[in-house]
Structure 1
Amino acid sequence: MGDSFTAGIGDPEPGIPGGVRGWADRIAEELSSGRQDFAYANLAISGLVLRQILDQQLATAIALKPDLVTLSAGGNDLIFHRSDPDRLAAMLDAGVGTLSSTGATIVLFTGPDWGDTLLFGHLRGKVAVFNENLRTIAARHNGVVADLWVLRQLSHPQMWDPDRLHFSPLGHHTIAKMVLDTLEVPHSLRPLQPEPLPTGTWRESRAGDAAWFANYLLPWMVSRIRPRGDGVPLAPKRPLPGPVLASPALSPAAATPLVQPRSVG
């Protein structure tokens, strides 16, 4: 359950549903290994806020009778709508309570630490408050916390897509490994060893910031003000549970290389 983060935006893979892979697919690939009856659904839709995620995905998720549910929500509220983290937590608490009553294991995600980023650094306090509320919710409902805040590797630009809003393949892989480790599930994912990381930071490149604003953030803002006129609603990535792999060409053993970090502009 979630938004573009769970859908896998930033981790392109044309051969699978939705054309993107992402941390959730990578986890499902590992969990499905050797399990013929394993089924995976991904209800995430890009751009949704917390209330929309709960309204549109909660009942569907419960109807699937899952053993494991991941829920990441609230990021769009905090970043683009300046929402109050305590009010968000109250909504999230109710939703997690309903999910936990099914007996499924619930995984909740803290927000990452944007303290070093130029445009989102001012949100650090709100994200920290939301994260503490989320930990309380997880404790109350016996949930599991996947802690992006303490995953310090995510502070590096190569972990992010060029749009600086979504994670790169490298970032998605790193998150998938962290979640599996948190669940104490044996897996084949290994720490990545890409080429030496560049020493520059976003803060040091004002020209890059201007290009990012013009090419990514501004078009996104315009799209929020002027909705699509074709009337076609966005659909979940994998609305029905089924096998993880879309074709024999893509398997955990023969998938695209895990280390293909994209440059960050």
Structure 2
Amino acid sequence: MTKQLHPWSRYVALGDSFTEGIGDPEPTSPGGHRGWADRVAEELSQGTEDFAYANLAVRGKLIRQISTEQIGPALALHPDLITISAGGNDVIRPGSDPDAIAVRCEDVVRRLSADGATIVLFTGADVGFSPVFRGIRGKVAIYNEHLRAIATRYDCIVADLWSLAEIQDARMWAPDRLHLNALGHHTVARLVLGALNVPNALEPSEPEPMPGTTWRQARTEDLAWARAYLVPWVLRRVRHQSSGDHVLPKRPLAGPFRQPEA
């Protein structure tokens, strides 16, 4: 009989596009995306009899929506392990207040902790490397300080994206510059498993070297990115729309983890 490597048997992931796995397309996975949470579930399922996994995360969700739409269904699944990444979509919005967002986050964590599950809470990544998001680096840092304090009060495990230097590299990000690519998600999965102190088979991996570009080529790429991703994002904000409108959770029920077919 295989030795169980950890104490958890029912894992539920909550959050937004980061946890849904956007940026890591996998046609054979539920919802068409894999992501770090699926990778974590795959490793946790090794040697754990009757391991069950659900992923309730939906792209574009604000922390208020995560609170109202995901906590009830999550608790109904009786998890003993919960990962929650929330507030990122709030923080990036112009004029948002990281202090107020943190108040909502603490309420989410308080409710999730009521049944004694282990909770993993994520800090936001250090976006100083990104020309697109460098301007909100201070807000992310303030929010992170709140998250660390919340984690201390509710005995949460912190998966510290801010200190994860590997993802402070454009090669770890998808073409939209907002979501991690497959390698980025793989790297986050390693971070989470390390935070949980779970032995695993995920090896560190280096991105391919980027080809050199001229200033003109870089600006051309920036314009193409703005047309393809920034303008649609702004239009959704103006129209009060979300990329997650009419999108359902990819794994709404806690069930056995099945690896995508090759």
Q: Please, what TM-score do these two structures have when normalized by structure 2?
A: 0.88
Match of 1:253 in 2: none
Distance 1:201 1:48 in 2: 37
**Retained in 1: the 8 A contact 2:42–2:259?**
no
1:61 aligns with 2:74: yes
CA deviation string 1:24-81 (max 9, x = no partner): 0000000001223011000001111011101100111111110100000111101125
Distance 1:198 1:110 in 2: 31
**Retained in 2: the 8 A contact 1:15–1:246?**
no
What stretches of structure 1 of length at least 5 have no aligned partner? Answer: 251-265
Greater mean deviation of Cα atoms: 64-73 or 81-90:
81-90
For residue 80 of structure 1, give the secondary structure of its aligned residue in structure 2. Answer: coil
The offset of 1:227, in angstroms, is 6.2
The offset of 1:122, in angstroms, is 0.9
Cα gap change, 1:24/1:129 in structure 2, threshold over 3 Å: closer, same or farther?
same
The offset of 1:207, in angstroms, is 2.2
Match of 2:103 in 1: 90
Cα gap change, 1:175/1:198 in structure 2, threshold over 3 Å: closer, same or farther?
farther
Runs of 4+ aligned residues of structure 1 deviating over 6 Å after TM superposition are: 199-202
Match of 1:158 among 166, 171, 175: 171
Match of 1:139 in 2: 152
**Retained in 1: the 8 A contact 2:51–2:256?**
yes
Match of 1:117 among 118, 130, 148: 130
For residue 121 of structure 2, give the secondary structure of its aligned residue in structure 1. Answer: strand
CA deviation string 1:65-110 (max 9, x = no partner): 1010000011110112532111111111111011112100101111
Distance 2:27 2:96 in 1: 35
The offset of 1:179, in angstroms, is 0.7
Q: Please, what TM-score do these two structures have when normalized by structure 1?
A: 0.87
CA deviation string 1:127-182 (max 9, x = no partner): 00000000000000000110000001111111000000100000000000011001
Match of 1:51 among 47, 64, 86: 64
1:6 aligns with 2:44: no
Match of 1:220 among 233, 248, 254: 233
Distance 1:81 1:182 in 2: 32
Match of 1:258 in 2: none
**Retained in 2: the 8 A contact 1:17–1:246?**
no
The offset of 1:246, in angstroms, is 5.8
2:195 is matched by which residue type in structure 1? T
2:37 is matched by which residue type in structure 1? A
Cα gap change, 1:81/1:51 in structure 2, threshold over 3 Å: closer, same or farther?
farther
What stretches of structure 2 of length at least 5 have no aligned partner? Answer: 1-13
Match of 2:115 in 1: 102
For residue 205 of structure 1, give the secondary structure of its aligned residue in structure 2. Answer: helix
Matches within 5 A, 1:62-81: 62-81=75-94
Match of 1:127 among 115, 140, 147: 140
For residue 145 of structure 1, give the secondary structure of its aligned residue in structure 2. Answer: strand
RMSD, aligned CA: 2.0
| Aligned residue pair count | 245
**Retained in 1: the 8 A contact 2:171–2:207?**
no
Match of 2:45 among 32, 48, 52: 32
Match of 2:256 in 1: 243
1:16 aligns with 2:29: yes
1:20 is matched by which residue type in structure 2? H
For residue 101 of structure 1, give the secondary structure of its aligned residue in structure 2. Answer: helix
The offset of 1:208, in angstroms, is 1.8
